Structures are given as structure tokens and as C-alpha cells.
Amino acid sequence: MQRTKPPFRADHVGSLLRPTALKQARERCAKGEITAAALKEIEDREIERVIKKQEEVGLQSATDGEFRRSWWHLDFLWGLDGVERTVMDTGIAFAGVTTRNEGVRVTGIPADMTVTMHLCRGNYKSTFMGSGGYEAEREVLFDKINVHGYFMEYDTERAGGFEPLRLLPKGKLVVLGLVTTKSGKLESKDELKRRIDEAAKYTPLEQLCLSGQCGFASTEEGNLLSEDEQWAKLARIVGVADEVWGRT
């Protein structure tokens, strides 16, 4: 019987490549050529389509692809009181893509409000070298954060090895971002299974899940791969997860 409740062993971050029709509609709305209501109709249609596609490739959790956002974070921050949109000198450089030169400027966030973001890319060596080893990082990475699971990216050599997983508390889950979202090259099943086996040397297999690294379109410009390549990667994640953990 197929699992109907999380954790789902195949997952993804959520942002998906924006279809051409959506990009064009957003541009036309910005120019005043169509209304915000007309843009929403197109967003609704494209979101329905992308949810159906996620179901077709076998994912058991689906997102709207961030189709109503232009950024993975700025759209949210711009909506806060005391924060305004600003223009920077340059955009953010991703792999082969440079974003629009938009940013945020804080003008007066309430004193009792805190917005935090913590990023941990694998065991990136410089994180640990100055602290006397991995053990000193356990409190920072795992013991002080009251969450049910973690997302750790291991899609490149820069991320280092899986050693920090030995510090994972019992019962907590780690989603491994082993599949890159920055290029269209499809990882082989054997390669992914080998890396899962390596990770399982440091924590039980039952505490691991498989995912793509980051999003396919952290900004609406998107990464340098096609929609077909994106879906092939998601289907590969599902296929490998099914073979490693099964569907139950």
C-alpha cells in the first residue's frame, strides 16, 4: 500500500521553473497591459497544471511551484511593515544566470519581530575547521533547533562528507539534497544509491529522505535547464526513493 502520510522519501524544495506563459503574463501586468485579476487567472491555470505534473511523476507532496512569487524570499519580505523594495547595483549571480537587481531596505521593523534564516550546506568544511571538529557543532545544528527534520545539501564536492549525520538525534529526519537543480545533467540511479549508502553509514536509513538541492527556480528567471530536464530529475528522485525505501 502506498504511504499517504509523511515522511515521504522523495521530496523537493518547491520552486519550479516558471512556464513561458506565466513569465509573459507577469511582464504584461507590470506594464499595465493586463489587470492583476487577469494575471491571477493565468497563475491559477498554470498552478493547476504544475500540480498535476507533480502527481504524474510520482511525487506524494505537491507545491504551487512558487508561481505567485518572483523571488524565493523577497516577495515575503516586501510585504512586511518596515521593509521596502530597493534597487541594487547588480543582481545575484547564480550558475549562468543573474537575477534582477532588486533587494530590500529595512525602514523600521517592530522591535519584537525577528526574521531568521539558517543555511547549512552539507558539512562545508570551513564551518567546522575553526570549532575543533564536528562534535562542537552538534548543539548549533541539531540540539538547539526544535524541528522534526533537516535539509542538507550534498550535491557538489564543496559540501564535503556525510560525517555530521552521525550527530543526528534519534527520530529526526534529514532530507538529502543529492540531485543538483542547477544543470540539466541527470544523475544516475547507481550514483544516487551509492551516496545514500554512504550517508547510511552515519545514520539509520529510516531517518533519510531524498530530494533535489534547493529549487529549480529560486527566482523567476530559473536555472539553466529545461522543463523536461526538471521533470526527469524529479522522476529520478521518485524512482530511486521507491527502490531504496519502497512505497510503504
Instruction: Kindly report, residue by residue over 162-217, the tens digit of the pLDDT.
Output: 988 888 888 888 899 899 999 999 999 999 999 999 999 999 999 999 999 889 99
Instruction: Kindly report, residue by residue over 103-121, the tens digit of the pLDDT.
Output: 888 888 766 666 655 545 5
Measured CA to CA, the distance from residue 78 to residue 46 in angstroms comes to 24
Task: Please tell me the predicted confidence (pLDDT) of residue 202.
Answer: 93
Output the CA–CA distances (angstroms, integers) from residue 242 to 22, 148, 167, 193, in the order listed.
33, 22, 26, 11
Domain ranges of the chain: 10-73+117-245, 74-114
Q: Which fold has domain 10-73+117-245?
A: TIM Barrel (3.20.20)
**Strand locations in the chain, DSSP E?**
10-11, 83-87, 102-106, 149-153, 173-179, 208-212
Task: Please tell me the predicted confidence (pLDDT) of residue 178.
Answer: 95
